[in-house]
Amino acid sequence: MQKITLSIALLLCLSFGAFAQIEGGKAIVAKNAELVKVQDGFSFTEGPAVNRMGDVFFTDQPNDKIYMWAAGPNEIRPFMENTGRANGLYFKLDGTLIAAADENNELWAISRDGKKEKVLVSSFKGVKLNGPNDIWVVPKGGLYFTDPLYARPYWERDPEMQQDGEHVYFLSEDGAQLFRVDEDLVKPNGIVGTPDGKTLYVADIGAKKTYKYDIREDGYLINKTLFCEMGSDGMTTDEKGNVYLTGDGVTVFNKKGDQIAHIAVPSKWTANVVFGALDRRTLFITATDAVYTLKMKVRGVW
C-alpha cells in the first residue's frame, strides 16, 4: 500500500513539474499539454521551417546537416548533408527551401530532394556578408534576412566584420535587387513577418530589443517602433498575432508587446521555434542538443 501511495505521489510530482514549466499559457497552450523531447544527441539545433504538410526541417549547424521532423509518425529523418553550414531556414510557397548558409556567408535555394539549386546571395556590393542568420519569406515574393557577425571556427576567411555593420537586408523575388532595410541595429538576429505581408518583426539580440516595422510594396521598411524590451535568437507568430521569442525558453508577447506566457525549456539555450503538424497546432522548439514539441490551442501561420 505504501509503495502504491509513493508511486502516485511521484507521478503527481512529475506531472506538476511538467505543467509548471508553462507560465500564463492558458490562452495559447492546449489543456494538460506537456513539453515532449522528440530527440536529442545533436550539437546545436537551429532554423526550424515548416512545409505545406506540416513537416519541420531544422539544422544541426556544427555537424553541417539538415533534418526533417515528419509530423505524422513523429520521427526525425535526415534530409541533407553538406548544407553550407546552414543556420536559419524558410520555405517558399513553391516548396523551395531557403537557407542561410554561413560557411561562405551565402543564401542558398535547396530543392525538395535536398540538393543545392543555386546561390541566391554571395555578397553585398562586392563584399562578403558577415554571416546570414535568419530568413523570412514575404508571401507576395521577396525575402528579408539578418546578417549579424558570429565568428565561426570553420571559417577560412578573416573572422572580422566584413560589412560596415550588422544589418537587415531585402532580396527581391527575381533576385535583381538586394538592399539594406535597417542599418541602425546592434546585432539583428530573429526575424518574422505577418501572413498579410504588411508587418515585420526584427529582434536586435545585441540591444535586447525587438522592433516592429511596416512593409512597403517596394520592400523598404517604415514606421519602426519598439515592440518589446527583449531580443531573440529565433521567432514565430500565431493566428492571434502573438509573437514568440527565444533564448531563455520561449517567451510569448501579444500584438501589443505585452508578455502573456513563458515556456521553460530544459536547456541552456533555446534557439528557435515554429508551428508544425498539418493543423499547425504543435509548437516545435530547437534547443541546443535536442528538439521538443508542445501541443497548442492556437494555430501557427504560414
pLDDT above 50 (res 17): no
User: Contact, 48 vs 58, CB < 8 A?
Assistant: yes
**Average pLDDT of the residues in 60-64:** 96
**Average pLDDT of the residues in 65-73:** 95
pLDDT above 90 (res 194): yes
Q: What is the pLDDT of residue 81?
A: 96
Average pLDDT of the chain is 92
**302 inside domain:** no
Closest CA to 266 of 242, 235, 233, 294: 294
Domain ranges, residue 109? 2-295
Closest CA to 202 of 141, 245, 159, 161: 245
pTM above 0.85, yes or no: yes
pLDDT per position as a tens digit, 233-248: 999 999 999 999 999 9
- CATH code of 86's domain: 2.120.10.30
175 CB-near residues (< 8 Å, 6+ apart):
120
**301 inside domain:** no
Query: What is the share, in percent, of the chain residues with pLDDT greater than 70?
Result: 93
Q: What is the pLDDT of residue 275?
A: 98
pLDDT per position as a tens digit, 197-226: 999 999 999 999 999 999 999 999 999 999
**43 inside domain:** yes
Q: Is 262 exposed, middle or buried (0-12, 13-18, 19+ CB in 10 A)?
A: middle
Number of domains comprising the chain: 1
Closest CA to 248 of 301, 287, 293: 287
**Average pLDDT of the residues in 109-133:** 95
Q: What is the pLDDT of residue 159?
A: 87
Name the band, by pLDDT with cuts 50, 70 and 90, for residue 155. confident
Residue 299 C-alpha from the chain's centroid: 16
